[in-house]
Structure 1
């Protein structure tokens, strides 16, 4: 296989990987926004969230351990820092 052919295969592979990664990031952001909206709707209508990991976040907040609560919330939801901070603040109130 010539050097040009190898270079072309590598270039196509890298381009494909970059496209897939970009799409995955967009889908993750979209999913995070949808989960946030669903959470707001559930809270508005008084529907409890029975996720045990989120119950752990609430327990950490009640225990005054805000930083571990933020870390756990981000781990569970994949939310950004601002959204997480707002969610943890709502749990504190």
Structure 2
């Protein structure tokens, strides 16, 4: 049993290192994606082009008209695959 402890510790340490590096890479990719999305938004705004919307976005507007903001956020996340904060912000923009 004593012979297994160093091996187990080494495996745990290796898993921690792999997990840490994967987390750093995913955060870097996420930051790059956010920058790219903002650049695309600027280009669309400069060209005067509105982003095409999914046909079901009218459902989001209907939910908002009924005061069902949470359901609207859930539907937005389902349609776009966005995170909670991003969907909340997008739905709030639609109410303005």
TM-score bracket, shorter-length normalisation: 0.5 to 0.7
Please, which runs of 5 or more residues in structure 2 have no aligned partner? none
What TM-score do you get using the length of structure 2 for normalisation? 0.58
Mark the CA change 1:86 to 1:51 in structure 2 (over 3 Å): closer, same or farther: same
1:34 pairs, out of 12, 33, 36, with 36
Secondary structure of the 1:48 match is: coil
Per the alignment, residue 60 of structure 1 pairs with 59
TM-score (norm 1): 0.60
Query: Of the two structures, which has the highest relative contact order with CA contacts closer than 8 Å and spacing of 6 or more?
Result: 1
Q: Measure the CA separation in 1 of the matches of 2:87 and 2:74.
A: 9
Could you tell me whether the CA contact under 8 Å between 2:73 and 2:91 is conserved in 1? yes
Structure whose alpha-carbon radius of gyration is higher: 2
Count of equivalent residues: 89
2:22 is matched with which residue? 20
